[in-house]
Structure 1
């Protein structure tokens, strides 16, 4: 593959103006496939962060975006979508995401093409009138309004940066909240393209801003009293830090922190279909996504047959350069994460785990880890998430053992159940303490239109979804004529 990639120049977008992040911390962005240098990473300085906060606060206090009629906000969101709909924009975003995160181009292209639809969906939500309703009251109709808390901080991760970042931005803008997006320092390029599109679309100055940098600037903004809501997708340590920073002033937080997701295979399952689900869960987005497979729980009587089928499928997976159209799976995002996943594998081996893998490694110098199942560990040693193409295998004899294993971690984001008896599968799934369970299938998409993506336990706080994410940035305001009760409670 050619190494001549033209990445967007690293630029903040603060108060309607693009500027170069002032700080060079001496770190670089590297091609996940080859390790080749791509760009020098840069970060905002204190003054740039303060300028963004000041602009967001000014817009909030003036009410200029909040008081813009919903129909006009919707029109601007549609214009932003149009600016993002060009073929060249999609190509730039998908290429940048692919070489920085390692996700294969077929996946990042889909996300880039979906990007305009995210903003159009938010516009449609506004036109449907969900933020301004009338409900019955004792003395006539009552206004039921949802209005923004104030400036919102949006912190997006390096995995799925386009899909996750755009969902946060579209939701905050639809809610009427001025927002500041801080993307991951490893995958900032789709955010830069969104900022360019926002400027061209005529989004007012200070309404949408972009600040580039690492967790240092994220901490500065989270702790600033001008921020009135925080939406964060990332790791548990970061989520805990944000929750602590927001607790004293009860700042609303939306936290999606990952999951050690369980896939349960009963003896009566279609084992070919189950094996496909296992391999998808290990390889999609290179195992670097919140709902990736974490623990495979299989009924004892079919364990060996299922594992043989999984290994046969894994041997056909093309692990290769993320820009290769033939690649089914690419490298991990950066060398530090690669080292961490290898360390996790070594730890499980040292605790009795047997590594099961059959996917050939490519002849490339990047961060490639073959999808791997680890059999033979004590379930107590596999309770934590490994954010990569690694899953533990545990067997069970009956439903009670299966449920104990399925609910045997402190995380609860996603679950999967395979069984030919759908009634039994639904009954089992309803007992799993997790935000969602998919039966007889494994997909990147949400399972139902309008349904939330919930997080239980240490997987996070709050719900995400089309309506849920917009409403997160708002509070209820109820106004109407009231009866007058007599004094003394008569």
Structure 2
């Protein structure tokens, strides 16, 4: 079932040419289901990193990509979309992401199908003329232009590598910013396929480049003065390091760092609907996504009934090989993360946590953790994110207690509210200090067309979305004929 022969060769894409990363680490990408080695991991060396930075800087300096008219950039983005819609790309990305991240193949197949739509959406944004506007001025029309800051560094995570990586790439390219993508060393394959698509679509050399490697490779580029914008999705420690590196020179940063997301169930909720949402939040992408369920906050009067419904659903969940079409959930991404999640569970148990789990483990040697709720801990012991299929349970007696719990962490990415009283749900959601709140439903996708995905507190900095991410890579230039004020302040 491995199908590891479909994995693309690990290559950089620098200056319009493919090349192998120079450094062998003696470490391997492993099948998350079995722990078996798939490919030797490789790092770009300093010479390769410097070459990519030099090409990006030259491309920006001579205007090769920025001065390509927006309509022509749109055509090239659409050509990339056509390439990525091909069966070769979709099948390779589907299998590679499933093997390496552990996400079930039904989910990675959806991600692969969405991939070309991301580039088509960025092209449509350009065709609508959003980067070149005119507004009224005192002496005629004033040009209001959005232009790229300069070379952009894109650092994508191992969870959702295709969706997150493509969103960053399409947005930077639409903005006219030469970009360098540094994917996670654990899930690099969709980035390699995007590089192939860019090459075949005929993007100018230097518009898009790819450097493989670990955090040291990303760190070298973050600290280089030729990088003028950084978009990062990952952990809090990495986000803080990037923010520090960019602060001295005011380099724009877009940081999405995760969330300990609160799901609130009121006593008047549809408990079947709430149970479905809880299981989805706990198991989608194996709990390895930034908007996964972190803390379940439930009214004390319905807690026992709700937990019984959740455990009943989980008992019928199939935890299995990620390439098995019948699997509902797969393994965690790699052994180190697996061990971290087990340590987190032990920590909560040491704080009085009682484990609630009913999903059978498969007869496989991979990184499998059954979806688990932990009841009985104090709220102060569950304030940190656990990036896996584990969530804490807390009960409340009234709305004030519920709100104190919901706002009781330093993270604020996503929230969820279940109540049959829609007015009450909206009123409560408006008071949650988080980037977005979904009512009576749990979904991977954004809730409203054109709305941003925002991060509050330690969940990050800035907003992501269709328009927001493109505009992040740009600054405003306002040009027009001005009246001349009289001298002396008359």
Give the TM-score taking structure 1 as reference length: 1.00
Task: Give 1:224's aligned residue.
Answer: 224
Aligned to 1:477: 477
CA distance in 1, matches of 2:260, 2:316: 25
CA distance in 1, matches of 2:419, 2:137: 49
Q: Answer whether contact 2:98 2:323 (CA < 8 A) is retained.
A: yes
1: CA distance between counterparts of 2:348 and 2:64? 55
Q: How does 1:316-331 map to 2 (within 5 A)?
A: 316-331=316-331
Shift of 1:89: 1.1
Matched, 1:249 2:249: yes
Give the corresponding residue for 1:165: 165
Residues 1:376 and 2:392 are matched in the alignment: no
What residue is the counterpart of 2:113 in the other structure?
Answer: 113
Q: Distance in 1 between the 2:268 and 2:325 partners? A: 36
For 1:23-422, list aligned pairs within 5 A.
23-422=23-422
Indicate the residue corresponding to 2:14 in structure 1: 14
Deviations 1:28-47 (A, max 9, x none): 10000001110000000000
The Cα of 1:3 is off from its aligned counterpart by 5.0
In structure 2, distance between residues paired with 1:4 and 1:472? 37
1:298-352: CA deviations, max 9, x gaps? 0000000000000000001100000000111000000000000000000000010
* Offset of residue 480 of structure 1: 0.5
Q: Is the 8 A contact 2:182 2:210 kept in 1?
A: yes
Contact 2:183 2:191 in 1 (8 A): yes
Q: Distance in 2 between matches of 1:489 and 1:266?
A: 62
- C-alpha displacement at 1:488, in angstroms? 1.2
Alignment gaps of 5+ in structure 1? none
- The C-alpha deviation readout for 1:237-268, integer Å capped at 9, x for no partner, is 00000000000000000000000000000000
Q: Give the aligned partner of residue 448 of structure 1.
A: 448
Runs of 4+ residues over 6 Å off in structure 1: none
Instruction: Please give the alpha-carbon distance, in whole angstroms, between the structure 2 residues aligned to 1:114 and 1:150.
Output: 28
The structural deviation recorded for 1:2 is 4.2
Instruction: State the 1:5 CA deviation.
Output: 3.4
**Structure 1 residue 25, shift from structure 2 partner:** 1.3
- SS of match in other structure, 1:144: strand
Deviation at 1:87, TM superposition (A): 1.2
Counterpart Cα distance in 1 of 2:160 and 2:187: 9
Structure 2 CA distance for aligned equivalents of residues 11 and 465 of structure 1: 29
Distance 1:157 1:339 in 2: 19
Deviation at 1:27, TM superposition (A): 1.1
- Per-residue CA deviation, residues 33-84 of structure 1 (Å, 9 max, x unaligned), is 0011100000000000000000000000001110110000000000011011
CA contact (8 A) 2:181 2:211 kept: yes
Segments of structure 2 that go 5 or more residues without pairing to the other structure are: none
Q: 1:6 offset after TM fit, Å?
A: 2.2
Superposed displacement of residue 26, structure 1:
1.5
CA distance in 1, matches of 2:5, 2:217: 28
The number of residues matched between the two structures is 490
Separation of aligned partners in 2, 1:305 and 1:363: 31
Contact 2:2/2:99, CA 8 A, preserved across alignment? no
**Quick check: 2:22–2:44 contact (8 Å CA) kept in 1?**
yes
- Would you say the 8 A contact 2:142–2:480 is kept in 1? yes
What SS does the aligned partner of 2:289 have? coil
